[in-house]
Structure 1
Amino acid sequence: MTIFWHILWNNVLPLSVMIAIGIILQRAFSLDIKTLSKLNFYLFSPAIIFDLLYKTDISLQVIGQVLLFFMLFMLLQYVVLEIVVRLRGYQGGMRAAMRNSVLFYNSANYGIPLNQLAFAGNPYTLSIQVLIMMMQSLIPNTYGIYSVNAHRSDLRAIWRTIASMPVIYVIPLAFALRGMQVPIPSFIDTPITYLAGAFIGTALITLGVQLGSMKWQLRGSMLADVGLSCFLRLLAGPALAWIVVWCLDAWVMEISPLMAAALIVSSAVPTSLSSVLLAVEFDNEPEFASQSVFVSTLLSIVTVTVVIYMLQI
């Protein structure tokens, strides 16, 4: 029960307070959610990715192992999702919305604090989580943009949109500057630090604004869709991660118990705010995306605790 209350008090409740502030602000002032979305995509998200990749100590061996796990895990999730999408008969934007709600998970403002809690601030597990966060920032800005526009835009327009996303340039730049040990001048580093610190708050406020601007009608097909998304993200996700870790350890390479635990915990977090930002920015099922994030975050109080408890056993 100690882990449960710690996660509730230190992770979920702070997130919920920020979301509630966004809802209140939206009801009071009718904020422009498109502006908030652009601030997240083009400013705050690239800043936090650069800041963490440049400053976190990560070995080449860890990079290789984590990236191999991540690719196999995402592939397995995609296969399962494709089966579900076809069985449910989703069409158009709803196909992309369901995929995004499961494939994109909250590896930054939920995953990093959770990692530090579950592993007592271990720098090794933090480096693993930072790599997962890097990939979870890159994919929504590439595949995510393609998926929400593929049914209504030509390929050239989609590629122009993807090419305008700063994150795809920030990641190689951070690795290059770090690899060559190029120091960042303080007049640049300080603004990056400020912007990185603003990411979590702004993203959560954006989610709250979106939730505050819509009518809550979680019933019928919407209830079933959100429930299915939460099941696939919170329960099937860590189960599939365990399968990938077991297969890699058994047949490909030795994975330490600490890395295995960190990878599985990283897969157990709720749906990412990125799915909401994509839905809002490109007007693709924003109500479903917002409710999936909100409900999965609430349910994760229980599911994440169970995953950590099972790993301790």
Structure 2
Amino acid sequence: MSYFSHILLNNVIPLTIMIAIGIVLYRVFKLDIKTLSKLNFYLFSPSIMFKMLYESSLSLAVLGKTLLFFCIYFIVMFLIVELVIRLRGYRGGMVTAMRNSVIFYNSANYAIPLNQLVFVGDPFTLSIQIIIMMMQSLLPNTYGIYSVNANKKSELKATLRTILTLPVIYVIPLAFLMKGFHIPVPGSIYTTVNYVANGFIATALLTLGVQLGSMKWKFNFSDVMLSNVLRLLIGPAVGFGVVMLMGIHGVMAQALVMSCAVPTSLSSVLIAVEYDNEPEFSSQAVFSSTIFSIFTVTMVIYLIKFIS
């Protein structure tokens, strides 16, 4: 089976089906998007983050180099999207929405299965992807929320109070501490964590579907396509430049470049919905980038084979 058909059948079509179910459920029952958003922020996201970090095997060397790569990559992508925002003359909530659609990407339920497909279950490349996933979970729940509230001129104290209520910022250090000191999680609690973590992908995709179902669908073609180009084409190209700059080679370089090639994160939609910041644009960016990633990710997978 080719990479194209595998990505289509095992990543994109299942995601699309879940999103379609969310659209239908909204049309029939008028589900409350705010309730779903809060479930994602306060229950499902922290549970899957704790589970994956607690169960992973991360070395300090891999952790340090991957974090350095991520920081450089994030800064470069941030500067590129800021330049685009200024050139396009965006104002208000669209500034944050465009930025989030590019710098926050789907490093969990899309990138992790893809990583294991391409690298045939390699635990080394999986550990790299988990580190990226950790940062891509932490940033939307800190900087992402701060930027949305700052754009609306909220008080700094209120913004910080909002960030400090989010469980994921406590879950990450807790998982590392418990793992580092070999502290076992009581069986009944860990069973509960597993139950909740297993529901993350479905709930996040249903939330996206409910948001799409509630939209008027005035498709913002130029802005959405611009976001897709920055995320799906410029993103992996910058990733390749960063690994070359850092002198990273072999399978680690391949895994890092591929981690940059995935579509826009569901986090951008959850933030947009929770704080009413261009939710229609954000939903369209996530949905369209997931569809177009069939072609762009396949191209990246082919090209990374030439990284030695």
TM surpasses 0.5: yes
Q: Distance in 1 between matches of 2:117 and 2:14?
A: 14
Q: Distance in 2 between matches of 1:256 and 1:237?
A: 19
Match of 1:257 in 2: 250
- The CA deviation at 1:187 is 1.0
1:226 to 224, 227, 246: 224
Q: Distance in 2 between matches of 1:151 and 1:230?
A: 23
- Point out where structure 2 has 5 or more consecutive residues left out of the alignment: none
CA contact (8 A) 2:263 2:289 kept: yes
1:26-105 matches, within 5 Å, as: 26-105=26-105
Matched, 1:204 2:197: no
- Runs of 4+ in structure 1 deviating by more than 2 angstroms, as ranges, are none
Match of 2:235 in 1: 237
Matched, 1:190 2:191: yes
Deviations 1:258-301 (A, max 9, x none): 01000111100000000000000000000000000000000000
- Point out where structure 1 has 5 or more consecutive residues left out of the alignment: 250-254
Match of 1:281 in 2: 274
Q: Distance in 1 between matches of 2:114 and 2:95?
A: 30
Deviations 1:192-238 (A, max 9, x none): 111111100100000000001111122xxx21100100000000000
* 1:109 match: secondary structure: coil
Match of 2:176 in 1: 175
Match of 1:252 in 2: none
Q: Distance in 1 between matches of 2:42 and 2:204?
A: 12
Q: Distance in 2 between matches of 1:276 and 1:42?
A: 15
Letter in 2 for 1:40: N
Q: Distance in 1 between matches of 2:186 and 2:106?
A: 31
Letter in 1 for 2:188: F
* 1:78 match: secondary structure: helix
Letter in 1 for 2:194: T
CA contact (8 A) 2:22 2:206 kept: yes
Q: Distance in 2 between matches of 1:187 and 1:9?
A: 35
Match of 2:165 in 1: 164
Q: Distance in 1 between matches of 2:229 and 2:266?
A: 17
Q: Distance in 2 between matches of 1:120 and 1:11?
A: 16
Matched, 1:308 2:301: yes
Letter in 1 for 2:157: R
* 1:25 match: secondary structure: helix
- The CA deviation at 1:43 is 0.3
Match of 1:133 in 2: 133
Q: Distance in 2 between matches of 1:290 and 1:190?
A: 32
Match of 1:215 in 2: 216
Deviations 1:1-25 (A, max 9, x none): 7111111111111111111110111
Q: Distance in 2 between matches of 1:242 and 1:194?
A: 37
CA contact (8 A) 2:243 2:249 kept: no
TM-score, normalization by structure 2: 0.98
Q: How many residues align?
A: 305
Match of 2:22 in 1: 22
Q: Distance in 2 between matches of 1:25 and 1:101?
A: 25
| Overall identity of the aligned pairs, in % | 63
- The CA deviation at 1:256 is 3.8
CA contact (8 A) 2:96 2:151 kept: no
CA contact (8 A) 2:105 2:136 kept: yes
Letter in 2 for 1:238: P
Q: Distance in 2 between matches of 1:146 and 1:182?
A: 33
Match of 1:118 in 2: 118
Letter in 2 for 1:82: E
Letter in 2 for 1:67: L
2:285 to 284, 288, 292: 292
Letter in 1 for 2:293: S
Letter in 2 for 1:190: T
Match of 1:13 in 2: 13
* 1:34 match: secondary structure: helix
